[in-house]
Amino acid sequence: MAALTDKGRKRSNNEDTVDVDMARGLAVLADGMGAHAAGEVASEWAVRYFIGEVPRLMAQASDAASLSAALRALAQRINDRIVAHTQQHPDTKGMGSTVVVAAPLGGDMVIGHLGDSRAYLCRDGVLQRLTSDHKWLDEQVAMGVLTPEQASASKQTNALTRALGIEEEVDMVVRAVPVQDRDLFLLCTDGLTDMLSDAAIERVLTHGAGYPASTAQRLIDLANQMGGKDNIGVVVMRASLVLSTPT
């Protein structure tokens, strides 16, 4: 596992936060938003609370479904904290954060997310996006209301429709993905995906499959080479399954 952030080439501060629990194979990534450094606080809260609470939830979960329900409940509690803070401190209005959490349980990787930070799986050199962006135009395309071409040409807002802190109620999307040996999982903020295509990300992950740290750095370097218009956060995780042989 490897987790890195970079402020990019255009921003003066870094509102992306990442952390991993290597002993448990747990990773969390968040991209904050809000003025007066509120975005940095929101993303730090999101990561700190998920990293702190999810190990207990993993230990208590009987299966992926029960862990999924626990992650959704935890997201709501964190959301309540952020909303309460903005109500008490009006100068932090707009404070919020995306979040992606990846937690292994049994033979699955349980992925929860809110916002436009993403999770990917690269298996046998083929990249698969595991999350859908919670943005207005993207959801219109998913529902068939707009074509991808119409969305690209639209001048309507493409604001986040789900994230921590933007509404009083939050509904985290959670899915379980069966894990195979040598699978690569990538968590990343839009500072990466706005700069690099999925095809470019696939090439980097495939080329550096066995080296998460150098792969994460390579992704950040390429995003900066392409302009680095936003903060960049990445987590690269490589699955190594040890199978026992019956005697």
Domain boundaries, the chain: 2-238
Hey, what long-range contacts does 67-74 have (CB within 8 A, 24 or more apart)? 67/103, 67/105, 67/110, 68/110, 68/112, 68/174, 68/175, 68/176, 71/101, 71/103, 71/110, 71/112, 71/172, 71/174, 72/112, 72/171, 72/172, 72/174, 74/49, 74/50
pLDDT at 246: 46
pLDDT at 158: 67
Count other C-beta atoms under 10 Å from residue 21's C-beta. 17
Task: Round the average pLDDT of the chain to a whole number and report it.
Answer: 92
pLDDT at 247: 42
Nearest of 120, 103, 98 to residue 21 by alpha carbon: 103
pLDDT at 36: 65
Q: Check: CB of residue 111 under 8 Å from CB of residue 174.
A: yes
pLDDT at 33: 93
CA distance 64 to 173: 13
pLDDT at 241: 74
Q: Name the stretches of the chain with pLDDT < 50.
A: 244-247
Q: How is residue 228 written in tokens?
A: 């680095």
Write the CATH number of the domain with boundaries 2-238.
3.60.40.10
